[in-house]
Amino acid sequence: MTNRISLAHLPTPIEPLPRLTQFLRGPQLFIKRDDLTGLGLGGNKTRKLEFLVADALAKGSQTLVSTGAVQSNHCRQVAAAAAKLGLECWLVLAGQEPETAQGNLFLDKLSHAHVIYTTKNEQEAAIASLMAKLKAADAHPYLIPYGGSNAIGALGYAAAMRELNTQKFQPDWIVFATSSGGTQAGLMLGAHETGFDGRVLGISVDKTAEVFQPFIASLINEAAAKQGLTWRVEPEQVLINSDYCAAGYGVLQPAEVQAIRLFATLEGVLLDPVYTGRAAAGLIDLIRKGFFKPSDTVLFWHTGGTPALFAEPYTSALAF
């Protein structure tokens, strides 16, 4: 049996979105609030960390190491998990050190994480160098991959689908932001385990479907094997829409600004400018194009990331 520790506030609620549904005149919309998982202001990575950090502790690790962008939601939750459990935390962040730590970076530092800044091209080398130094110092480091997305991390979202099943909610579609792949891999594995007969659609934040589908299929199959399952998927079975990521990672677009505004002003729900903002923009566009049937029930799985909003200047496009 795979190790797991309790870090998240579960189950996260499912809420209707009646005003947004009425405004868009489309399918019935609901939201799964994984922005409320609690750890370090919550988010989807906390579910993955329940398995990843348990594996680290089982191996006697004393230091968590991970990586991401300067405004990484994942790294913020890794730092919070380390603080909660009395572990050291090192974060290798791609980007320049800002003059002022805001948003997720502020919370990293508040959790007393050690931060190393590097370039995207030098990120892997910086991680390797750090791991070597920590091992030499007998710090027993445990490397948590980008986004917590490996076969162990994916088990967090297989468990999330079991949670959804216990909530007796069976939507026709689950729509969410997909980026590092572990959330979608876990959702699809959990869908198989629970007999979920809806569809699981990832809105890509930064990769084309052709590039991303084989990677996620591989994650699903490896995670399934860890569960003792012989079930396997092929890349074409992984549903990804990559029509909305051409601008590049973290480059805020007008449609994303509109989506963030609509969720905030109609439902009081805050989205982030990188992941859920882009996924919501994709969802809204698909509704307007008639992709979903009017009779469909669509669950938007909110993967968190709200603290990244606080790194956006008031003078940005988000301001009224």
Strand partners for 143:
65
The whole-number average pLDDT for the span 4-26 is: 98
User: Which candidate, 275, 182, 265, places its Cα nearest to that of 220?
Assistant: 182
Quick one: pLDDT at residue 33?
A: 98
The whole-number average pLDDT for the span 30-51 is: 98
Count of other CB atoms within 10 angstroms of residue 273 = 25
pLDDT tens track for 148-158: 999 999 999 99
- What is the percent of the chain with per-residue pLDDT over 90, rounded to a whole number? 95
Task: Quickly state the pLDDT bin for 320 (edges 50, 70, 90).
Answer: very low
In whole angstroms, what is the distance from residue 193 CA to residue 230 CA?
12
Catalytic (active-site) positions: 72
Quick one: pLDDT at residue 319?
A: 54
- Find out whether 231 and 200 touch, Cβ atoms under 8 Å: no
Which domains, from first to last, does the chain contain?
Answer: 14-44+149-311 (3.40.50.1100), 45-148 (3.40.50.1100)
The whole-number average pLDDT for the span 110-123 is: 97
To which residue do tokens 């876990």 refer? Answer: 186
DSSP 5-68: ---S--SPPEEE-HHHHHHHTSSEEEEEEGGGS-GGG--THHHHHHHHHHHHHHTT--EEEEEE
Task: Quickly state the pLDDT bin for 312 (edges 50, 70, 90).
Answer: confident
pLDDT higher than threshold 70 for residue 279: yes
Quick one: pLDDT at residue 108?
A: 98
Cα of 317 vs its chain's centroid, Å: 24
For residue 198, give the DSSP letter: S
What strand order describes the sheet that includes 63-69?
114-118, 88-94, 63-69, 141-143
pLDDT higher than threshold 90 for residue 135: yes
To which residue do tokens 């809420």 refer? Answer: 15
- Show the CA angle centred on residue 41, arms to residues 38 and 42, nearest 5°: 55
pLDDT higher than threshold 80 for residue 317: no
The whole-number average pLDDT for the span 99-104 is: 94
Task: Quickly state the pLDDT bin for 2 (edges 50, 70, 90).
Answer: confident
What is the amino acid identity at position 165? N
Residue 3, classed as helix, strand or coil, is coil
Task: Look over the chain and give the mean of its residue pLDDT values, rounded to a whole number.
Answer: 95
Residue 234, classed as helix, strand or coil, is coil
pLDDT tens track for 147-193: 999 999 999 999 999 999 999 999 999 999 999 999 999 999 999 99
In whole angstroms, what is the distance from residue 223 CA to residue 75 CA?
22
* Helix (H) or strand (E) segment spanning residue 162: helix 151-166
The whole-number average pLDDT for the span 48-73 is: 97
Task: Quickly state the pLDDT bin for 64 (edges 50, 70, 90).
Answer: very high
- Show the CA angle centred on residue 274, arms to residues 5 and 162, nearest 5°: 35
Quick one: pLDDT at residue 318?
A: 56
User: Which candidate, 65, 55, 53, 68, places its Cα nearest to that of 137?
Assistant: 65
Pairing of strands 239-241, 28-33: unpaired
